[in-house]
Amino acid sequence: MVTQNENIAKRRFRDKVSPYLFISPWIFGFLFFTLGPLVFSLIMSFYDWPVVGERTFVGLDNYKIMLTQDPLFWDSLWVTVKFGLFFVPFNITLGLLLAVLLNQKLAASGVFRTIFYLPSVISGVALVTIWGWIYSHEYGLLNFFLSMVGVEGPNWLGDPSWSLLAIVVTSLWGLGGTMLILLTGLQAIPKELYEAAKISGVPAWARLLHVTIPMLSPMLLFTLITSIISAFQQLTLALLLTGGGPLESTYFFAMYIYDNAFKHFEMGFAAANSWVMFLIILVLSMLVLKSSSAWVYYEGEMKSDKGDDDA
């Protein structure tokens, strides 16, 4: 009798505890590699904190210096915003264009889909190497093609008025992920909607505007937010393709953080920079989410059966 009771108690304990055991890898990871670092970084941002040597508490000085005395902060932020203003709309519209094209009943659409996704599977280092040659002033492929139509191409990476655009184009080459998400969304739209619209004589462009876009809006919201986040974090391309130059025309905010941390070893200052980036991303995402109730259309069932995933 006693042993049986013990068994029940044991089992109860196991059923209570074992779910937490299953999720414990993430819990520990969260504590050691996310929450801990976040708290630590916030503390660092109030210190003058070199990698080795004495640290001193400086209060809000890091933030004050950044905002009022360091022109590079504003310049790099402006470069990032300019990049985002090009990258985000193009990433989504071109991704949508490719997805719409792929969604036509074409022979070999699988092959095209694969081709469009290819650049997304390779390393940023390879991407940069490849595009570095394409943009090369003298024997670059791009300027060769331009010369064939009688245009003398600029020094893409060496001219401050073109360098940022060159980075935008390179980053757009990797829009396969966005395309794929939107394509999945398109495939989920019921065919009847289009047929009904067709029968009522709605032209193709209006079907895109009044059927496709509203039905796709939850996906568009997702890609909008992820594009904004990735625009703000852009680092590899600038680091390797232009080194931030020429004349700091491609000196991204993420590069500013990176340099402050790993070139000037001002860890406290760089931590403060990164918190500003975090806040900007957070505010932008919130604004987009807030605005979404006006333009994102949720089908009733879609919302209800996935209700707990909304965050």
Partner 1 sequence: MRKILVYALMIFLSAMFIMPFYWTFMTAVKSIPELYQFPPAFWPEEFLWENFSKAWLKQPFDIYLKNSVTVVVISTFGQLFSCSLVAFGFARFDFKGRDAIFVLLLATMMIPWDVKMIPLYMEFNWLGWINTLKPLIVPSFFADAFFVFLLRQYIMTVPKEIDEAARMDGANNWQLYWRIHLPLMMPALILVGTFHFMNAWNDYLGPLIYLNDQSKYTLTLGLSMFKGLHEADITSIAAITVILVIPPLILFFFAQKYIMDGSVGSSVKG
Nearer to partner 1, 70 or 285 (CB): 285
Q: Does 33 bind partner 1 (CB under 8 A)?
A: yes
Q: How far apart are CA 254 and CA 269, in angstroms?
A: 13
Phi, psi torsion values for 220, nearest 5 degrees: -65, -40
Please say whether the beta carbons of 102 and 115 come within 8 A: no
Question: What spatial distance separates the first Cα and last Cα of the chain, rounded to whole Å?
Answer: 48
Q: In this chain, which of 106, 247, 283, 287 binds partner 1, going by CB under 8 A?
A: 106
- 109: tokens are 């659409």
Q: Does 309 bind partner 1 (CB under 8 A)?
A: yes
Q: Does 219 bind partner 1 (CB under 8 A)?
A: yes
Nearer to partner 1, 58 or 219 (CB): 219
Q: In this chain, which of 82, 124, 153, 159 binds partner 1, going by CB under 8 A?
A: 124
Question: Could you tell me the CA-to-CA distances from 253 to 25, 234, 249 in Å, in that order?
Answer: 33, 8, 12
Q: In this chain, which of 4, 5, 18, 200 binds partner 1, going by CB under 8 A?
A: 18
Q: In this chain, which of 133, 195, 196, 209 binds partner 1, going by CB under 8 A?
A: 133
Please say whether the beta carbons of 46 and 58 come within 8 A: yes
Q: Does 297 bind partner 1 (CB under 8 A)?
A: no
Residues in the chain: 311
- 300: tokens are 């009733």
Strands (DSSP E) contained in the chain are 47-48, 56-57
Q: Kindly state the number of chain residues that form the binding site for partner 1, as judged by CB under 8 A.
A: 96
The mark string for 170-209 relative to partner 1 (x by CB under 8 A, - otherwise) is ---x---x--xxxxxx-xx---------------------
Count each helix (H run) and each strand (E run) in the chain, helices first.
16, 2
Q: In this chain, which of 9, 19, 56, 283 binds partner 1, going by CB under 8 A?
A: 19
Q: Does 56 bind partner 1 (CB under 8 A)?
A: no
Q: Which alpha helices (H) appear in 106-250, and where do they start and end? A: 109-117, 124-135, 141-148, 160-172, 176-187, 191-199, 204-207, 213-233, 236-237
Helices 267-295 and 213-233, packing angle to 10 deg: 170
Q: In this chain, which of 9, 60, 85, 141 binds partner 1, going by CB under 8 A?
A: 141
Q: Does 262 bind partner 1 (CB under 8 A)?
A: yes
Q: In this chain, which of 13, 32, 74, 78 binds partner 1, going by CB under 8 A?
A: 32
Nearer to partner 1, 12 or 161 (CB): 12
As measured in angstroms, the least distance from the Cβ of 164 to partner 1 is 20
What is the C-alpha R_g of the chain? 25
Q: In this chain, which of 1, 51, 199, 294 binds partner 1, going by CB under 8 A?
A: 51
